[in-house]
Structure formats: structure tokens, C-alpha cells
Structure 1
Amino acid sequence: MSPTPEATTLKIVYAGTPEFAVPALQALLASRHQVTAVYCQPDRPAGRGRKLAFGPVKQTAVEAGIPVEQPLSLKSVTEQDKLRAYAPDVMVVAAYGLILPQAVLDIPRYGCLNIHGSLLPRWRGAAPIQRAIQTGDAETGVTIMQMAAGLDTGDMLYKTVCPITPQDGGQSIHDKLATMGAEALLHTLGLLCANQLQPQPQDDAQANYAHKLNKAEAAIDWTQPATVIDRTIRAFDAWPTAYTLYQGQPLRLFSSCALPGDGQPGTVLAESKDGIDIAAGEGVVRILSLQLPGGKRLGAGQFLNGRSLLGVRF
């Protein structure tokens, strides 16, 4: 179902919580469309004082004077009626974090659109950006999807591609896709207003599930190939952050590259301002930035000032 061509301004309810969802909200606020309400997850404790803090999307909405709703769930009839009262033409969802029941998907005139950080159906689920890097994908991107009851199974409306370079990590790809998602959303809404959407069903046989990240998988196993370790370090640079134990404490690893070479896995073979070279099961991992407990994230050259790891075996 598409709007009539003259319906060039859409009433939009926006649902998102973290930083990834901010650029798209900002783009909507600057567009001809009307954001009538913003939905976010409830405020969470943050910082050392564990005080309740606004999430990035809520902060953006409050500054723009947009009503904010933060239900624990959208399953109750009361919450669904509240959403219905906003009379949305479209609900846009980006990293919201709550499941939308079918009753909610049916409320907006043209349904719910999701900004998904992968080229569907390649990666469905919670951590598509990190899993794409970790697996060694050459590219990722953003898919604007018509939401359905399944997990990221709806028809694809628009895609935009982003290469993954050997220097990219989870944070850099996150930032690129957040910006690309905003542009892709406005383009898709333009197609919607012009009756030019061409929904494409997903091929379920091509789908992979991007499992939620956990801290346990951030521990580096130096018997793995250098390419695998390098991709893990880069994928996890924002969270949960890869680490190895040094003097009984976690040494956090943020950026790296894989090189040819050999040695006893986990052994520091060389060090310089260019990096700290650690033997892997196959090849060598060069660590470019790292952090000791309680310290700052440092480049390899700064880290080595007055300190040597040469010969250490992790």
C-alpha cells in the first residue's frame, strides 16, 4: 500500500535508543516530514554514580521538543492505544531494542520501516556490523526494510553498500552506516510518497543470524590464525573489546593488522612505534593500539614509552 502522490508530508513516529539511531532522527527533523513522537527504551543507570541518564535518541528528541514515550513493552493494549493516538503514517525503527508485536506493526498507515545495519538477508539479528567484520565480509551496508513479525525477515525496500576496509573496526563501520541509514531512510520515504516503492522479498536461504555480542568471546585465543584474531579485534573495538591477559590483568586491544610470519602463538616477536607483533597460530598480529587496566587507550609507540613487551608470551 502506498500513499497518493500529493501526500508529500508523512506523520512519523520514530523508535530508537542508541547513537546509531540519532542521524536518521536528525534527518527526519530537518526534512519536510513531521515527527510526532519518539519512542526509546527506559532510561538506564550510567557513569560511576549510576544515575539514570537519557539515551542519545531521547536527548535529541527532548532538545527538539518532541514528545518521548518510554514503555517497558508495547504488548499492552494501553500502550498500543497510546501509539495509535499519534496517528502515524509510518513508524521508523532503528536499533530500538524492543520487539514490536503484530498489533503495533499494523497501526501505522503504511506500516513500520526498519533501518538495518547490514545488506539483508546476509546478517539478521542483534550484531550485524560486528559479525560482518569478524567473518571477513568485503562489504556491508544498510537495508531499509518493511517490518514483519519475524526477526529481520520483512521485504527489502532500499539498500546502500559500504565497503569494509582492512582498517575498519566496529565503531568506524557503525558511524558510516548510521549516516548512510539516514540518507537511505529519506530516499525510501521519497519513494513511498511517489508511489515508487518496489518491495523485494528476502531469500531466507542466504540469511545468517548475527548473535548478540558477549564478553566471553572477547578473550583472544592466540592459536587462531592471525586473520581471524585481527578481524575479532577490529570488530569488537567499541564493545566488548578484545583482550589478552598480561600479568594477570586484561590488556585491551583496539586496532590491529595481520602480517606474515611465525612463532610460538602468543609470543611478542617484535615491537616498535609501528606496532607490537604477536605470533598467532598462523601468521602474526600487529597491535596498533591498546590499553592497560585503569589507563588510557594508547598507540603502540606511546604504550612502549618506558615499557617493553618483547619476549612476553600471552
Structure 2
Amino acid sequence: MCGIAGLIHKGKSSNVGGEMTAMLQALKHRGPDSTGYAVYGEPTEGDYVLRLKVAEAEDMAKGRGIHQVLADRITEVEAIMQEHGVTVKTKEHATEYALRYLISHEGDTTALAEHIEETDGVEILSLGNGLELIKDLGDASDVAGLYGLNEFNGTHGIGHTRMATESDVDIRSAHPYWAFPYNDVSVVHNGQITNYWIMRRQMERKGHRFMSNCDSELLAVYTANNLANGVTLEQSLRNSIEEIDGVFTYLVATKDQLGMAKDTMAAKPLVLYESDDLIAMASEEVAIRAILPQEIDTYDPYDEEVRVWQA
């Protein structure tokens, strides 16, 4: 039983970090193990935000030597960026194991990302013009405070509170997932995919990589494969209902869109609110009420329903 949430503002920016924190904290009871955000700021042409981790949170308890290991990994990552002609504009440590770089790069971002991930213990969480993907252990209040998300300004975001059922309690298995290597695409999911291994092997044969054994990552990779082949977000969501087996409700965000899909049984809940300038959705209405305390009308999307909204 996990919790998912998402919102998108039409034609304006807002404090989506604070809004997503309020929504996800209201869903804490659905998933206490980890919390994740994919939030979308206002991109600058030619610039990318690179979010990565150089260790798991639990690795920090492995003794004093771990600090030098992390420093060496960061040095190697920065040497790779220099090799690819990357200009680092800013560098921030949210934690000793999680970093944020604002970079300028005119080359192949896929080649850059693949090279960086050859470094032992390093995983790119996101790379994009607008997307910033942050996830860690703890509830939304913990993660937002640690990563400074309460004042993040942007147009839209999605998030997830996780109760681990079939994979580990670690950052690697937490949601959201970036749709590597497709810039600015992220996914959160509530449910279970029953043809996961069949679909995963299909994606791996096409050259896609997986960083975990979490079935939700498949939806990110599946979406990346479709978008890379010219399929629209809406059509990708519709195709998934036919091609992916199981019970699922999931949200996909791109640089300027937010989409949702429910499977044929619609067993996993989603409540939706829509106005002229704001769309908000979550596993439970209490999350929407956390940012809209006034009287509002909500509804539950039907089975096989697909919706896409533009920022």
C-alpha cells in the first residue's frame, strides 16, 4: 500500500515543493519507508540539472573509510564531466551521498549519463532541463527538510510514499523513477505488474538499463522507450493498459505535461481535482485537502482512464 500524488499548474509557477510536501505528508500512513519527489522548475536553455547519489544512506554507517570512498567517487564523476566538455555552474551537497549539479553541456547527454554510471556506487537520479528528482528514507517532512524542498518553485510535480513489499528499503528502490535516458520524464506508481520480468527482458534487449528490481521502474523504462520512438505521452499511457499486466495506477510527468493511467480493474485508488488553473490528484482525498482546504469537488477516474494535462 503506497501513496502517489501529483499536481500541475496551468500557465504559472507556484511553490510546488511545499505543495507536494503537504500532500505526501498527508499520505505518510500509506508508506513510511521512503519518500520521493519529481519536481519541475523553470528550465534555462542549454542548462541541465544533474541529481545523483554516490552511496546509499545505509552505507554511511560502514565506518570512517566510507567518507574517502565517497570523495573518490565524486572526483571520478567530475573528471568524467570534464572529459565530456561539461561546464559545472553550481554544485550542492544535500547530504554527503547526494549531490546536485547545474551544468552546461552541448554534447550527448545519454553518453554522459552512461559514462558517469560506470563509476562504482554512483546512480543518476535525474538529468534534465526542468526535472529534479529527489528521494530518500523517511517521510516527506524529513526529506523536504534535508533537501530544501519546501520553497521549490515550479509548474508541476509528482511524488510517492513507499511501503516496501517486494524490494529493499533503500534509495535505489524508492520512487519516483527517471525514465533514463529520456530527459525530464519521471514516473510514480501504485500497484503490482505481473508480467514484469517478461517486459523487463524485452526492454533490456532494446538496450535499456535497470537500476533496481522494483516493478515500478519498468513503467519509467517503458515510457522512455515509447517517447524515444516518437509515441506521444497520451498514446504511451493508452498502450500500457493493453501491454502491461497487473493492477496499477501511475502518473507520468514530462517537462511540460502530467499524465495518469489506470488499469482495466481500477483496483488502485486515485482521487482527482480539476479547476481552470490547477489539477491535483492523489491516492486519497486527504492529500488534496492538505493544499485545498476549501470546499471542492473531486472524482475517481474510471477503469482504463487516461488523462494528460499541459502546464
TM-score normalized with structure 2 length: 0.29
Greater relative contact order, per chain length (Cα 8 Å cut-off, separation 6+) = 2
Relative to the length of structure 1, the TM-score reads 0.28
